Amino acid sequence: MKYNSTLCEALLESHEIKPTANRILVLRTLAEARQPLSLSELECEMLSVDRSSVFRVLTLFREHHLVHVLEDGSDSVRYELCHSTDGHEHDDDQHVHFYCEQCQQTFCITDVPIPTVSLPDGYVLESVNYMAKGLCPRCALRKEKGR
């Protein structure tokens, strides 16, 4: 889906975030990304916005449940747009992520069922990270062919 300024503004406002040029740009970049992005990757995509500004926007988005924050084992945190309808509801777009140990890319796997996490009394669940690791199809094929 193409995210124009009007759609970006509406999504920000539904999460109680005031739309600004930088926030719209970060949101649009995340929305149009084919996979979760690290801070460095976001910075490269948006040369007009400095790293600290991007980080501040991501922090705000995280506080308002507009991004998922993924730790894939690559020593880099990755971000992806959360498609919940607002910042107050339970995250309704949880899905599995796959980290390829060969090409070091992280992929969204949306068609794999995820388990429900039930914790004992007294525990408060804040987040769950569904990360599988191995070889992506392209790297597995290369390995099979001996490349």
Looking at residue 111, what is its pLDDT? 84
Looking at residue 76, what is its pLDDT? 77
Please tell me the distance from the alpha carbon of residue 91 to that of residue 133, in angstroms, as a whole number: 23
Q: What is the pLDDT of residues 5-25, one digit of tens each?
A: 888 999 999 999 999 999 999
Looking at residue 83, what is its pLDDT? 65
* CA distances in angstroms from 68 to 55, 60, 80, 129, 140, listed in the order given: 14, 12, 5, 9, 27
> What does the buried/exposed string (b/e) look like for 41-66 if buried means 16 or more CB atoms within 10 Å of the residue's CB?
bbbebbeebeeebbeebbebbeebbb
| pTM (two decimals) | 0.73
Looking at residue 53, what is its pLDDT? 95
Tokens found for residue 64: 């308002």
Looking at residue 138, what is its pLDDT? 92
Q: Residues of the chain whose pLDDT is less than 50?
A: 86-90
| Structural domains of the chain, ranges and CATH numbers in brackets | 5-144 (1.10.10.10)
Dihedral (Cα; 28, 34, 36, 40), 10-degree rounding? -70
Residue 12 phi/psi, 5° resolution? -60, -45
Tokens found for residue 46: 């948006």
**Residues in the chain, total:** 147
Where would I find the H helices in 33-136?
Answer: 39-45, 51-63
Residues in contact with 123: Cβ distance below 8 Å, sequence separation at least 6, in sequence order: none
